[in-house]
Amino acid sequence: MSYIYIVPIELEDHSYLEKLEGFISQTFHRRTIRKVLKIHAKDAFDPNRRQYNSSLILRQLITHPPLNAEKILGVMDVDLFIPILSFVFGEAQLKGIGAVVSTHRLQNRFYGLPENREVATERLFKEAVHELGHTFGLIHCSQPQCVMNSSTYVENIDLKPAAFCPLCQRSIKAEKSSPGNRGFFFPWWGKKT
Amino acid sequence: MKPEEIGIMIVDDESSVRESLAQWFRIDGYRVDMAPDGASALQKLQENPWDIILLDIKMPGMNGIELQNRIKQIDKNIVTIVITAYATVDTAIQALKEGAFDYITKPIDPDDLSRLIKNAVEQRKLVTENIQLRQHIEELLLPDEVVGESPAIKKVMEMVNTVAKTDATVMILGESGTGKELIARAIHSRSARRYCPIITLNCGAYPEGLLESELFGHEKGAFTGAMYRRKGKLEMADKGTLFLDEIGNISGKMQMDLLRVIETRKFTRLGGDKTIDVDFRVISATNKDLEKAIKDESFREDLYYRLNVFSIVLPPLRERRTDIPLIAKYFLNKYAQSMNKNVADFSPQALKMFMGYDWPGNIRELRNVVERAMVVAMGNQLQVDDLSFPFPAPSPSMPSGGESLDDVEKSQIEKILNQTKGNIAQAADILKISRLTLYNKIEKYHLKR
């Protein structure tokens, strides 16, 4: 039996992880399991940028995956980046096993707005489904009402649902991936307001 | 164009930059490849087509500027975007001046990159569409409607092909109905201006005041009835060709105004004070004897030489009789299609009649006769009975033993004047010449009206 692993990485607040597990399980029709793995986030820290390189985090996640892991989703609350971009919300492998998301830029406080836990949680759910969607082979969808639609800033995340359009849904069902498949890395990004 | 139809290449010596950009573009469905340096990029360019290339300014060996120049030599329509660190913004600006679409300063905001690539894709689509439209225009411009295989018309077409490659002014001379406008269009369609319009102005069709307005346009309120600003033919012909038909009919004032525009390429609309620059080629046409008009001081010599850098004389149909069957067949096919009639050919007798007739109205008259005949034709061949000529049945009118061309012409004019009982307007209409020309010929041959 294989699982989608939810892996908190130096996460301060775990309170929404149980709901996240349930949501992912329901969306992908798979069992989920929460587990802490040995990930050294400091190795990915760039002191010049004061951000964490998401590609290095992702590499650690997938290097020695649990044998029964179909997918692994790392969850962090630090600011992520890839070299060419100023930041990313997350990163994933296309048709691979691993993905990582951060709550850092999903929180209203990052934009100087009053905190709204419900909104932040919903954004995280969408982010997580979006990144895991890439691991199932989905690229960005042109449908605005699909969770795989590309969003470059957080307001766009709010406008789209947490569900797949019928076409992406069918693709998810048809796609099969094997554990340990490195695939391509796919960054998920957003816009600083 | 769908994303998968767009090819994006990333050229950067830093693998982390190459990889992260490649991932970013693959996620949107583009076809992506990477190259660590200029030489590899050029190699890949030879192997596959690419639409957008992102290239780092600073690379060992060939730098980004040099690579961009080499890329543009291979395909000037490839969209290039330079990647630069803050310290090399000046070089990025240089790259822009040399044709880069835009530049990225590392690290870039994701939203900015997304927008940039969308614009680059749009740019590529527009360029591709432009190329396709130009190809389509080329197809529409050909084949020619100048029908004929006679030495006379072949010589005309050689001259058309020669002068079309230049921007020289052309004067087309010939009797009415010989196809002067067709030749003007043939020149335009072979010229570098063919993607821009050819605007025709029939100078004989307007009284002087209106002709001025037609040519130069007018501002609102320039004269009674000028309710709106209106562009003239000159402005409409900008970057294209202005065809002035019946140029011999314009007044002295118009000749002066026209000369000024041709020399300065500037004009103002009627009632306006703003000088407008214009770039056009002039082709003019006339069936008048302008050299005689110059002697009579009814046409300006300086304008004549401005308009007549290159002249093409169209032969009348009677001087290219071997083309008559070809042209007649061309019109037959055209009207058979438009009238949806199953008429395929002429009877031998009808064709013989065509060949024996002088066609004073030239190709225009031939077209009219064929069109009229097609209306009444019943079978799949045009018969003699279907033909209707404006004069008595054509008889061989080739000069016989001692008759000169003038004799033949004189005889024909006398016949028509008798037929119309001296009505000049009617006679001129039948003979397909202007009234002035008819008066001149009456005087020349000492005929009685």
For helices B405-419 and B435-445, what crossing angle results, to 10°?
110
For residue A137, which residues of chain B lie inside 8 Å, CB to CB?
Answer: none
The CATH topology of domain B3-138 is: Rossmann fold (3.40.50)
Stretch A41-62: mean pLDDT:
95
| CATH number for the domain running over B317-386 | 1.10.8.60
pLDDT, tens digit, 9 for 90 and up, residues B101-122: 998 888 888 888 988 999 999 9
State mean pLDDT over B41-49: 91
Query: What is the side-by-side order of every strand in the sheet holding A51-53?
Result: A45-46, A51-53, A80-81
Residue A99 and residue A75: Cα distance in Å, rounded?
A: 9
Model confidence, pTM = 0.59
Domain B405-445 belongs to what topology? Arc Repressor Mutant, subunit A (1.10.10)
Residue B312 β-bridge partners? B172
* Min Cα–Cα distance to chain A from B131, Å: 28
CA distance B69 to B102: 15
pLDDT score of B40: 94
Mean pLDDT within B266-279: 91
CB contacts, 8 Å: A184 with chain B: 23, 26
Interface of B with A in 56-85 (CB under 8 A): 83
Q: Which residues touch B324 (CB under 8 Å, ≥6 apart)? A: B317, B354, B355, B359, B366
Q: Which of A84, A105, A193 to mutate to test the interface with B (most CBs of B within 10 A)?
A: A84
CATH 3.90.1170.50 fits B151-313, yes or no: no
Cβ of B317 under 8 Å from any chain A Cβ? no
Specify the pLDDT at position B247: 94
Mean pLDDT of A144-160: 92
CA distance B98 to chain A (A): 24
Q: What is the DSSP string of A153-193?
A: SHHHHHHS-SS--HHHHHHHHH----TT---EEEEE-----
Q: B67-71 contacts: CB < 8 A, separation 24 or more?
A: B67/B11, B67/B38, B67/B41, B67/B42, B68/B95, B68/B98, B68/B99, B68/B100, B69/B98, B70/B38, B70/B42, B71/B41, B71/B42, B71/B45
Q: Which residue of B has its CA nearest to A54?
A: B20
Confidence of residue B127 (pLDDT cuts 50, 70, 90): confident
Q: Do A84 and B109 touch (CB under 8 A)?
A: no
CB-based contact B111 A85, cutoff 8 Å: no
Please check the confidence at residue A24 and state whether its pLDDT lies above 90: yes
Q: What is the pLDDT of residue B144?
A: 56
Distances (CA, A) of B438 to B423, B426, B427, B446, B449: 11, 11, 8, 12, 11
pLDDT higher than 50, residue A58: yes
User: Quick one: which of B111, B62, B56, B61 has its CA closest to B84?
Assistant: B56
Q: What average pLDDT score do residues A148-175 get?
A: 91
**Mean pLDDT, chain B, as a whole number?**
88
pLDDT at residue B446 tops 90:
no
Q: What is the pLDDT of residue A110?
A: 94
Nearest to A191 among B17, B26, B111 (CB): B111
Question: CA A113, CA B150: separation in Å to the nearest integer?
Answer: 85
Please list the residue range(s) of chain B that carry CATH number 1.10.8.60: 317-386
Q: What is the pLDDT of residue B71?
A: 93
CA distance A52 to B411: 103
Contacts of A94 in chain B (CB under 8 A): 26-27
Residues of chain B found within 8 Å of residue A84, distances taken between Cβ atoms: 16-17, 20-21, 24, 83, 104, 106-108, 113
From chain A, which residues contact B within 8 Å (Cβ)? Answer: 49, 55, 81-88, 94, 134, 139-140, 150, 152-153, 184-187, 189-192
Cα distance from B49 to chain A (closest Cα, Å)? Answer: 23
Say whether pLDDT at B402 is over 80: no
Could you tell me which residues come within 8 angstroms of residue B429 by beta carbon, excluding any fewer than 6 positions away?
none
pLDDT band per the 50, 70, 90 thresholds, residue B3: confident
- A145, amino acid identity: Q
Partner A contacted by B132 (CB < 8 A): no
Residues B50-105: pLDDT tens digits? 999 999 998 988 999 999 999 999 888 899 999 888 667 788 888 889 899 998 88
Whether B378 has a pLDDT exceeding 80, the answer reads yes
With beta carbons under 8 A apart, name residues in chain B contacting A82. Answer: 16, 20, 23
Q: If pLDDT is split at 50, 70 and 90, which confidence band does B398 have?
A: very low
| CB-closest option in A86, A139, A153 to B29 | A139
**pLDDT score for B401:** 46
Q: What do you get for the CA distance between the two ends of chain A, in Å?
A: 43
Structure tokens at B304: 């004549």
Residues 27-56 of B with CB under 8 A from A: 27-29
pLDDT tens per residue, range B9-29 = 999 999 988 988 898 888 888
Span(s) in chain B for CATH 1.10.10: 405-445
Q: Give the ipTM.
A: 0.80
CB contact under 8 Å between B108 and A140, yes or no, is no
CA separation for the pair B429, B424 (Å, rounded): 8
- Vertex B359: Cα angle to B290 and B162 (nearest 5): 50
Domain with CATH 3.40.50.300 in chain B: 151-313
Strands B79-84, B52-56: pairing kind? parallel
Residues of chain B with pLDDT > 70: what percent? Answer: 94
Q: How confident is the model at residue B141 (pLDDT cuts 50, 70, 90)?
A: low
For residue B396, what pLDDT band results from cuts at 50, 70 and 90? very low
Given a cut of 50, is residue B188 above it in pLDDT?
Answer: yes
Each residue of B213-230: pLDDT tens digit?
A: 899 998 888 778 777 788
Q: Looking at chain A, list the stretches that DSSP marks H as alpha helix, in order from N- to C-terminal side.
A: 17-28, 54-63, 117-135, 154-159, 166-174
Each residue of B294-313: pLDDT tens digit? 999 999 999 999 999 999 99
Tell me yes or no: is domain A3-188 CATH 3.40.50.970: no
- pLDDT reported for residue B392: 54
Question: Residue A8: is its pLDDT beyond 90?
Answer: yes
Residue B401 · residue B361 · CB < 8 Å: no
Percent of chain B with pLDDT over 90: 51
Kindly tell me the sign of the dihedral angle through the C-alpha atoms of B383, B387, B393, B394: negative
**Catalytic residue IDs of A:** 131
Whole-number pLDDT of residue B227:
77
User: Can you list the positions of beta strands (E) in B106-248?
Assistant: 170-173, 198-202, 217-218, 230-231, 241-245
CB contact under 8 A, B23 and A134: no
Determine the average pLDDT of the residues in A25-29: 94
Enumerate the H helices of B142-268 as residue ranges: 151-164, 180-189, 208-216, 233-236, 252-264
State the nearest Cα–Cα gap between B96 and chain A, in angstroms. 20
Chain B neighbors of A138, CB-CB under 8 A = none
The alpha-carbon gap from B133 to the nearest alpha carbon of chain A, in Å, equals 28
Mean pLDDT (chain A) is 88
pLDDT at position B324: 94
Pairing type for strands B31-35 and B7-11 reads: parallel
Alpha carbon distance B317, B320 (integer Å)? 5
